[in-house]
Amino acid sequence: MTAKAKWLVIIIVAVVALGATAGVAAFAWSQYQSRQNAPSSAEIAASADWTTSNRIVFRNTAPGQGYGHVAGVPIDDPGAARSLLDIACDRVAATPDSFSCLRTERGITPSYDARLYDSAGNQQLEWPLPGVPSRTRFSPDGSLVATTSFVTGHAYASIGFSTETEIHHVSDGTSLGSLEEWKLIIDGTPSAPVDRNYWGVTFIDDSSFYATVGMTTVGQTYLVKGDIQSRTMTSVLETVECPSLSPDGTRIAFKRVTSGSGPTVHWTPAIYDIASGEVTVLDIEKRNIDDQIAWLDDDTLLYGVPNDTPGDSDVWALSADGADPAQIFIEHAWSPTAVRG
Amino acid sequence: MYISFSNKPKQADADGTPRPRGRRTVSSTVVAFGVVSMLTDISSESITAILPLYITGFLGMSTIAFGFLDGLYQGISAVVRVAGGYTSDRIGRPKWVAFTGYAIAAIARVGLLFASGFGALTAVISADRIGKGIRTAPRDAVITASSRPENLGASFGVHRTLDNIGAAVGPLLAFFILLLIPDGYGTVFVASLGFAVIGVTVLGLFVPNVRTRSDAPADDGPDATPSPRPRFQWSVVLSGPMRRVLAAAGLLGLLTIGDGFIYLVLQARSDFAAQWFPLMYVGTNIAFLALAIPLGRLSDRVGRARVFVYGHAGLLAAYLVAALPIADIAATLLCLVLLGAFYAATDGVLAALAAQLTTPETHGTGIAAAQTVVALSRFLSAAGFGILWYVLGRETSILVVAGLLLIAIPVVAVLLRPYMAATGGDSGQSLETTTGEEETR
């Protein structure tokens, strides 16, 4: 092949490859624009005032305008038109007075932050997160907020994920530090596996909480009970992820690995009865549930499940005794919190 | 010097024009291969960069369990790397072994277009790692075979610079696409495939099929007879000077705790660092690419072993800056520059050193062995440091490692003393001639 022919080939290959990319990009861009500008596929309430009633606060994932925005519906009529705030979040949690919003700031290089708003949507506090948002929860009295993010960029070209979980004071945003710096006691012995990661905090009160500690290399996870005063966490139970304490404080809903590992992992919702120590796997739910469960009330669990549209999901309700199959609770929704106040 | 440098084509001597020493040129093959690596890195880094967002934000999954696969990949990659180097030495055609590695990665991306889910993504990344393992050593063997011994360091510097430009451009390209099209992950995958295909094509067309076995037939003719006795000898790789280099690289590797920990120390202390955490490795990359050529040239002049060993002073300084209680922007940036300088002084330079101390028939295996020792010892180091981190605390444990490194650097300098000043370019007058037509600025 002559030099000229080689250059011709490479130019053709480059034009085809980059041209195809540009074509796909143009098509995807126009698709995205038309989706964004389309009216929301969910019914939107005329008023964004949601503060008047007990409500479910969630992230609206209905394609169209208002995608990703914080939304609310009345607790006793979850199918009603949703009130939208003009605030986009990846994860949201709420109390009667405020809500926390973990978000990805798009840009030529993305950044991530946590923001606290009052219930009317006025921003109160903000701090950076080291990676993609994962979980957020408030303490029952609303004085503490926990955030978990995936820490990326740890190693050059590494795809290994780790997490960072912190608890902040709602009043002034001060941090109690990364949980990885706290003491960890597993089965009565101080322990410090190199690859430990914490995620999925659920508060008992303003001085204690439950969370997951995971050893990512072997895949072992524990439910730990954390004490804020002594900065110590003590293992309670094995193979528990993303705990969520019931409103009456008697049970913990969590996701348990029921088959597979790594990319084929399958999580099923389960209930841990704190007094009896009994674990009930709610295997009436056959799908893979990858969410931190929320409690609607003492008898009902809520969790998000992706639907057929990429980037969209629905919130499902499952009875905590596993008696009835799960039902859609709110369509096009994600990251629900039941707010009664 | 008792290592021959007979890998240059014979016609180089016929050309006969001696060049002034120290002329700053590298072979067009090196530049071509640098472009291949750049395009391939744009391709793979664009996917790596958006992976967390894609999996969590788009697929709606939390993938803690993904981390544990990473150690497995590291192991596979190390084994495959030696196999790739060995194969390229045995058949004497490093280009086509490397080509296989690049092609595997490109083909895997086609799969991503049709099945874009978590499983497909895992498969693509596995294929990418395997491909990377296969291609790295033969690639460096090609660079060696097409460079003059006296500017081997500069050649690797040029290659690593282009390589790292790709690693810096890839994420920016991916995020730019997502900025325009927030759910445009499919577009990123298409772009990734496009760059991979262009890279493989450049490799196929513009990188000559250099022979690393001096008794291999000089062309691709159908009647070319297989050589009777390959002159591959494990002893070249595993004894003599290479054994010392492997020991030195392993010892220093054990004290290289990994950028991740340094970034974490910075992040825990400085708001600036916390905010820019996801970008720290890009900063290190930029310092790396800026310094790879100057430090490669320096290694040609003062000795590769010397630059490799004393390059660890950059790492030592980075440890100190990270551990000292200065929580400002300048400290963070200085730390990234020092890390980049460390990589620039050690990554390509180690390949050049391994090439310098092996025969043309064993370049691939020798380079692969050195890189594997580094990868494995750093992996052990990261694991061990994690324990130290917990027992002693953040700053103290970094200072302990810094202290050990302070002792290890002179020890290794003594260990490698016979080779510290050797540049491979001063062992005979024939080395001052050049390969002629393949020169470029």
* CA A70 – CA A284 distance, rounded (Å): 30
- Cβ burial of B17 (10 Å; 0-12, 13-18, 19+) is exposed
pLDDT above 70 covers a percentage of chain B that reads: 80
Cα gap A126→A102, rounded to integer Å: 10
Nearest CA in chain A to B265: A154
Cβ within 8 Å, pair A154-B260: yes
The DSSP secondary-structure symbol of A81 reads P
- Put simply, the answer to whether B48 touches A157 (Cβ < 8 Å) is yes
- Higher pLDDT among residues B233 and A68, named by residue: A68
Give the pLDDT band (50/70/90) at residue B431: very low
Burial B20-47 (b: 16+ CB within 10 A, else e): eeeeebbbbbbbbbbbbbbbbbbbbbbb
How confident is the model over B91-150, as pLDDT tens digits?
888 999 999 999 998 998 888 887 666 777 777 778 888 898 899 999 999 999 999 888
User: What's the pLDDT tens digit per position in B28-44?
Assistant: 999 999 999 999 999 98
- For B:172-201, CB contacts with A below 8 A are 172, 175-184, 186-187, 190-191, 193-195, 197-198, 201
pLDDT of residue A71: 94
Nearest to B277 among A29, A130, A290 (CB): A130
Q: How far is B122 from chain A (nearest CA, A)?
A: 7
How close does chain A come to B422, measured CA to CA in Å?
31
Distance from CA of B302 to the nearest CA of A (A): 29
pLDDT on residue A91:
94
Higher-confidence position of B427 and A127: A127
Q: Inspect the interface and report whether the beta carbons of A161 and B52 lie closer than 8 Å.
A: yes
Per-window interface: A 187-206 vs B, CB < 8 A: 192, 194-195, 197, 199
Buried b (16+ CB within 10 A) or exposed e, A26-53: eebeeebeebeeeebbbebbeebebbee
Collect the ranges in chain A with pLDDT lower than 70: 48, 152-161, 194-195, 216-218, 262-263
Query: Which residues of chain B make contact with A9, given a CB cutoff of 8 A?
Result: 201, 205
Predicted confidence at residue A269, as pLDDT, reads 96
- Residue B360: pLDDT over 60: yes
Distance of CA B386 to the CA centre of its chain: 25
Check whether B5 has a pLDDT greater than 80: no
Quote the pLDDT of residue A178.
Answer: 87
Q: How confident is the model at residue B403, as a pLDDT? A: 96
CB contact, 8 Å: A6 with chain B?
A: yes
Residues 81-140 of A with CB under 8 A from B: 90, 104, 106-112, 128, 130-134
| ipTM (interface pTM) | 0.78
CB A72 within 8 A of CB A66: no
Q: Is A191 exposed, middle or buried (0-12, 13-18, 19+ CB in 10 A)?
A: middle
Q: Does B218 touch chain A (CB under 8 A)?
A: no
- Whole-number average pLDDT of chain A: 90
Q: Which of B175, B180, B155, B208 is nearest to B54 (CA)?
A: B175
Residues of B in contact with A59 (CB under 8 A): none
**Residue B58 contacts A where some CB pair is shorter than 8 Å:** yes
Chain B residues with CB under 8 Å of A10 CB are 198, 201-202, 205-206
Contact B67 A161 (CB under 8 A): yes
- Of the ranges B41-55, B89-103, B370-384, which is most confident? B89-103
Closest listed residue to residue A289, CA positions, set A250, A258, A312? A258
Closest CA of chain A from B371, distance in Å: 16
A304 shares contact with chain B (CB less than 8 Å): yes
CB contact under 8 A, B52 and A150: yes
Interface of A with B in 221-250 (CB under 8 A): 241-242
Q: Which of A46, A23, A140 is nearest to A93 (CA)?
A: A140
**What's the mean pLDDT when you consider all of chain B?**
80
Residue of A nearest to B257 (CA): A155
Span of A229-233, A268-272, B10-14, B306-310 with lowest mean pLDDT:
B10-14
pLDDT at A170: 95
Mean pLDDT of B382-399: 81
- pLDDT, residue B30, reads 94
pLDDT at B338 over 90: yes
pLDDT at B422 over 80: no
> pLDDT value at position B47?
85
pLDDT in tens, B213-232: 655 444 444 444 444 455 66
| Cα–Cα distance measured from residue B73 to residue B87, given in angstroms and rounded to the nearest whole number | 20
| Smallest Cα distance from A52 to chain B, Å | 31
Name chain A contacts of B48, Cβ cutoff 8 Å. Answer: 157, 159
Q: Which chain A residues are closer than 8 Å to B183 by Cβ?
A: 28, 32, 310-311
The predicted pLDDT at position B24 comes to: 54
pLDDT at position B104 = 93
Give the pLDDT confidence score for residue B144 in this predicted structure: 92
Pairing of strands A175-178, A162-169: antiparallel
Interface of B with A in 373-392 (CB under 8 A): 383, 386-387, 389-391
pLDDT band at B60 (very low <50, low <70, confident <90, very high): low
- For A16, the closest chain B residue by CA position comes to B194
Structure tokens at B334: 């200085």
Question: A215-268: per-residue pLDDT in tens?
Answer: 766 678 899 999 999 999 999 999 999 999 999 999 999 999 998 876 678 899
Please choose, from the candidates A198, A203, A75, the residue with its C-alpha nearest in 3D space to the C-alpha of residue A142.
Answer: A203
Residue B282 pLDDT grade (very low, low, confident, very high; cuts 50, 70, 90): confident
**Hey, is the C-beta of A166 within 8 angstroms of any chain B C-beta?**
no
Place of tokens 């945003």: A173
